[in-house]
Structure 1
Amino acid sequence: MQARNFDLIAFDWDGTLFDSTRIITRCIQEAVRDVGGTVPSDEAAGYVIGLGLTQALAYAAPDVPPEKYPALGERYRHHYAAHYDDLSLFDGVLPLLASLKARGHLLAVATGKSRRGLDEALGSAELKGVFDGSRTADETAGKPDPRMLHELMEQFDVRPGRVLMVGDTTHDLQMALNAACPSVGVSYGAHEPDAFAVLNPRYVASSVRALRDWLLANG
């Protein structure tokens, strides 16, 4: 078996493993409309994916006063719940994760989702036992603060150079850079890949298949 370059591979969730970018964008827009704010563009709503919910909504709706943030969050969760059954893993994600597990990699999720939201997503039978650890924005610092990765490194006793962060946003790659960890970007999620270059990812994958091929050859 080929020697591993990385002991721990941490994945973002939405837009990286989970095909949810378009629906999250629409839910943010509908939530802002519900509370009377200026509805953000697709680009502005998509940019905040990966951040913690309050941070994301504050950025996407700068004219909504802070006292309306609880209502804004509630409306976002309402719209997201209505679309939950429309969401799924990207094609090829399960075989990708199985291949990495078979090679002995530790797998983790580092996400801007809430713990409740991630646990609901991970509760499916197909994902039982796949991930060795996870961190969410509401139980630690949100991206791009490196605390998620620092905590995972401490949990599994893995040094930064042996951790790879995989994500679809500049928030993910900046978090990796802040934690002194290598990263890989994916261009099929929320952010345009041109923005990744200054964050020095090892690779930018245009599909799950391309990500799998690179990880099996270089991970």
Structure 2
Amino acid sequence: MYKLVIFDWDGTLMDSGARIVSAMQTAARRANLPVPTDDAVKDIIGISLLPAMQILFGKLPAQQQDLLFESYKQEYVEKDKTPTPMFNGAGDLLDRLSGQGTLLAVATGKARRGLNRVWQETNTGHYFQASRCGDEAESKPSSDMLVQLLNELNVEASQAVMIGDTVYDMQMAQNLNMDRIAVSHGVHSVERLAGHAPRAIVDSLAELQRLLCRG
């Protein structure tokens, strides 16, 4: 049993990959940039927004970068109607972990405002004792988010596990020699995830619950 379970958000607890892809492609059109493929956008999910855009589009003039940045946020939050449900079993998993006294945290590339918004929409924020967002720490795969969370909660890396759907989640935990468990229902392939030696790769949150919860 772990003292602390740290979750990624997009692609791990929330099925938001399709909206991220759609919003990024629309933002590219609005900024008169080449439209990235679905796979190219999926590959940067998990990284903080600015470095993700630099990977997709290279170094842009400041005005064009600002237009892209604002267009993406507007599309994702206000205009794009692609559903972003919680994955099946997310509520039960959080209930069980919280009920057995496990500390819960989030490490996400989303901005603070975005995480607070989805917490309010899904009524899940109360489960988490701490969180770090893309505008509060170095971007994944840096371990900065995890180090900050461990320090805040006074937990050793050996007492924690990182749960995520991308190689960036796996890498940042691997850098600290922290246990990590990958979920296969997100944006990166099982083959890529397996390359970072997770303790397990699960196909559902129900399977993850069986691994992490007593009884």
Per the normalisation by structure 2, the TM-score is 0.93
Shift of 1:39: 1.0
Aligned sequence identity (%): 35
Residue 135 of structure 1, aligned match among 111, 132, 138: 132
- The alignment status of 1:23 with 2:19, answered yes or no, reads yes
Letter in 2 for 1:25: V
SS of structure 1 residue aligned to 2:126: coil
1:144 and 2:129 correspond? no
Are residues 85 and 202 of structure 1, via their aligned partners in 2, closer, same or farther at CA, if it must alter by over 3 Å? same
Does the CA contact (< 8 Å) of 1:170 and 1:191 recur in 2?
Answer: yes
Aligned residue among 192, 198, 201 for 1:201: 198
The one-character-per-residue Cα deviations of 1:45-70 (angstroms, maximum 9, x if unpaired) are: 11111111111111122375454211
1:147 partner letter: D
Q: Distance in 2 between matches of 1:201 and 1:61?
A: 31
Q: What is the CA distance between 1:128 and its match in structure 2?
A: 4.3
User: In 2, distance between residues paired with 1:125 and 1:195?
Assistant: 30
Superposition map of 1:73-152 within 5 A:
73-81=69-77, 82-83=79-80, 86-124=83-121, 126-152=123-149
Matched, 1:37 2:33: yes
Code of the aligned partner of 2:159: R
Question: Structure 1: which 4+ aligned runs deviate by more than 3 Å?
Answer: 63-67
Structure 1 unaligned regions, length at least 5: none
Is the alpha carbon distance of 1:33 and 1:106 closer, same or farther for their aligned partners in structure 2, counting shifts above 3 Å? same
Q: What is the letter of the counterpart of residue 114 of structure 2?
A: G
Structure 2: gaps spanning 5 or more residues = none
Within the alignment, does 1:189 sit opposite 2:186 as a pair? yes
CA RMSD of aligned residues (A): 1.8
Counterpart in 2 of 1:56? 52
The Cα offsets for residues 52-101 of structure 1, whole Å up to 9 and x where unpaired, read as 11111111223754542111111111110223683221121010011111
Letter in 2 for 1:43: D
Q: Tell me, yes or no, if the aligned pair for 1:37 and 1:64 is still in contact at 8 Å.
A: no
1:18 alignment partner AA: M
Closer, same or farther: CA 86–197 of 1 in aligned 2, 3 Å: closer
Deviation of 1:208 after TM superposition, in Å, equals 1.7
From the superposition, tell whether residues 132 and 39 of structure 1 become closer, same or farther in structure 2 (CA, over 3 Å): same
Residue 22 of structure 2 contacts residue 80 of structure 2 at CA under 8 Å; is this kept in 1?
A: no
Query: 1:214 corresponds to which residue?
Result: 211
Query: For structure 1, which segment, 124-133 or 35-44, has the greater mean C-alpha deviation from structure 2 after superposition?
Result: 124-133
CA distance in 1, matches of 2:44, 2:4: 26
SS of the residue corresponding to residue 23 of structure 1 reads helix
TM-superposed deviation, 1:196: 1.2
**TM-score normalised by L of structure 1:** 0.92
Map Cα deviations across residues 166-196 of structure 1 (whole Å, 9 max, x no partner).
0000011101111221101111111111101
**Corresponding residue to 2:64 among 64, 68, 76:** 68
